[in-house]
Chain A
Amino acid sequence: MWRLTRGEKAFTVINSSLLAIFAFVCAYPLWYIVVLSFNEGRDASLGGIFWWPRLFTLDNFRVILNDNTIVHAFWISVARTSIGTAGSLLITSMVAYGLSRKELPGRNQMLLIFLFVMLFNGGLIPYYLQLVHLKLINNFWVYVLPGLFSIWNMFVMKTSFQNSIPEAVVESMKLDGAGYIRIYFSIVLPFSMPLFAALGLFTAVGHWNDWFTGAFFVNDLNLQPLPTYLQRIMSTIEASQMISASQMTSAHSVSLYNPDAITSKSVRMATIVITILPILFVYPFVQRFFVKGVLIGSVKE
């Protein structure tokens, strides 16, 4: 151990305390929501709950699981996230691989075509009219197709392919008679897994959190993803309709819960918990790839 002066000791203590508070502030809102979602709604509206549910109940989650629209929305989100992420990684990495080969005639012209799109865009309305034209409005594929190719990720991958895949390996494979497809599958893809983990996580989170597409390009309730639905029930009217609907469906069975104790707010909290659960679940496993993903993104060609 090195010796610390008194000032440095004080600095370490203060610095660590402030950072501990910072970490706490980042995490506490999540805990607060979880606590509220497990508390009886009417009781929660009296206030004063901070650390632990006062009147523990699972009723808020029962309301949600009785609501077909929200269960459906959950699966729409799962479907678009998995198809969209896998598809985007595949298409984007294929394009990136093609453009990373310097011997390709026309490569610079194609790079310019892609680069220009990063600089200039047509704006929301012409994009919307094009979606109308392509019959993607009220269509599941509006969630997947426009995001299938990410220009930003393509440039990140291209840089990474150029820097991290030794040209000598590629050359020797070529001499052994391997074509470009073979090289892509047996060298480029396996070498790039940490990068794919990071970019895949960012893409997946983007899909999972996207409420905009569902809110403005889809009117069909059965096609709405979870965050769009959450955004709708943030208004009290929608939430109370959901409660009364779930009371009707459960009325003929044995009454599962005390309907008076559920409020629109407590149902909203439970919906939020369902929405963030998958992110919290994968977060610890993919976290270690973040830095790599961000770093490669910032490296200049």
Chain B
Amino acid sequence: MNFLSVVKRKGLLPLYVFILPGLVLILLFNYIPMLGMQIAFRDYSFSGGIWGSTWVGLQNFKEFTASSDFWRATGNTFLLTMLRLLFIFPTTIIAALMINEVRAIKFKRFVQSFSYLPHFISWIVVVGFLDAFLSIDGGGANSLLHSLGLQPIAFMGSETWFRPIFILSSMWKEIGWGTILYLAAITSINPVFYEAAVMDGAGRFAQMRYITLPSIVPIISIVLILTVPSLLSVGIDQIYAMINPANIGVAEVIDTYVLRLGIGQAQYSQTTAIGLVMSVMSMILLILSNWISKRIGGDGIW
């Protein structure tokens, strides 16, 4: 009664009404599916549904850990996310520093405008580009090989070429966009530091090395640390668009494996078990990396 009278007196009721749709939506699309995760411990059948199927304990977990396809997908996931981190993370910082050194404002804007663009193009379209450029019949890359007198290469259907294409296309899509955060951090550096450095005889390179770079280290560490949870997931868009029977050995990751087995072959219980392990692990990684981020003096996400 006391609570209700406070709400009424201060006119707070509309605020609760505003929040209600959000609560209902996450209940429907987030919390109820969490309850549905129990089928990881059941043998899901359509007749029984989520609550009526028989309990089987850890059988589903034993089954997927016994599958060589699962371990192949896990290995590929780690390899691809590590490669992506290794190539994209440093190049993004270098690109941001390079863009920052441009003094001609118009040219700077021009570079930024074009470099952000790929981020907004869907992976399906990007793989369309790749297909067009790398295809055997008239693709630009094979045209070049032909004019050099070399044999054509079936880039898209090749295990050897999958990883380079994966990395290069990831870099193309995300480097420009990744610079935005660093460039914003750089603009907030106090100009006094640069003036002092110039007085001490620092050239442009020394300013970059001793002022700009150290100033964005906190942001760099946050970005790095928050990348850690994503080591478990490559993201389904890119791989699903690139995968084909010829490269599945190196291209299949946990996300596509779950999709193929779960929705494709209706192995609901087993793939939910995989999903449960992944969710728990990424939650632990996220909490851990956030904690580390705060410990080393940076900001966390909460």
Contacts and interface: CB of A to CB of B under 8 A. Distances in A.
Interface of A: 5, 7-8, 11-12, 15-16, 18-20, 22-27, 29-30, 32-33, 36, 44-50, 91-92, 94-95, 97-99, 101, 103-105, 110, 113-115, 117, 119-130, 134, 145-146, 148-149, 151, 154, 179-181, 184, 205, 208-212, 216, 227, 230-231, 234, 265, 268-269, 272, 275-276, 279, 283-284, 287, 290-291, 294-295, 298, 300
B286 A97 contact: no
Contact of B25 (A5, A105, A149, A205): A149
Contacts of B140: 32, 47, 49-50
Contacts of B204: 8, 11
Contacts of B101: 11-12, 15
Contact of B19 (A98, A121, A272, A287): A98
A29 B171 CA distance: 14
Nearest to B117: A26
A123 B33 contact: yes
Given A114-B22, A234-B124, A265-B132, A23 B114 contact: yes
Nearest to B183: A291
B122 A209 contact: yes
B19 A99 contact: yes
Contact of B111 (A20, A101, A151, A279): A20
Q: In the complex, which range does the number of interface residues on chain B fall in?
A: 35 or more
Given A15-B101, A47-B143, A8 B241 contact: no
- Of A36, A123, A134, A227, chain B has the most CB atoms within 10 Å of the CB of A123
B276 A212 contact: no
B128 A19 contact: no
Contact of A227 (B116, B124, B131, B286): B124
Query: Helix, strand, loop or mixed for chain B's interface?
Result: helix
Query: Helix, strand, loop or mixed for chain A's interface?
Result: helix
Contacts of B21: 91, 94-95, 148-149
B102 A46 contact: no
Contacts of A181: 14
Contact of A19 (B99, B123, B172): B99
Contacts of A134: 28
Contacts of A130: 28-29, 32-33, 36
Contact of B26 (A23, A45, A94, A151): A151
Contacts of B25: 91, 145-146, 148-149
